[in-house]
Amino acid sequence: SQTIHQWPATLVQPVGSPLSLECTVEGTSNPNLYWYRQAAGRGLQLLFYSVGIGQISSEVPQNLSASRPQDRQFILSSKKLLLSDSGFYLCAWGLGEKLFFGSGTQLSVL
């Protein structure tokens, strides 16, 4: 069966520091992969999605970037974090229109 791993679970970073969140999927090949941000009272916002290695689509212009160096690996990055980057970040893989989420990373930028 398919599983999705996301780490770290929590992260506290100072403003201006870099960021790297990693997500890996097991049990499926060439999955569609997604990064979402969840802010309090604001639902789930799609940040990036990828349909294959090296293919990244950005939904919202911002301080973040994504990369897919391997088929089942999806990375969310930032060169310099802003206070507004704080939030709960969720990786997901898609089976058609259905999403299967990772356990999330709570990021606090101080």
Q: Which residues contact another protein by CB under 8 A? A: 32, 34, 41-46, 49, 51, 57, 59, 90, 92, 94, 96-104
- Supply the minimum distance, in Å, between the C-beta of residue 13 and another protein: 20
Q: Which is nearer to another protein, 34 or 74 (CB)?
A: 34
Residue 70 CB, shortest distance to another protein, in Å, is: 19
Beta-carbon contacts of 96 under 8 Å, excluding residues fewer than 6 positions away, are: none
Pick between residue 78 and residue 105 the one whose CB is nearest to another protein: 105
Residue with Cβ nearer another protein (14 or 96): 96
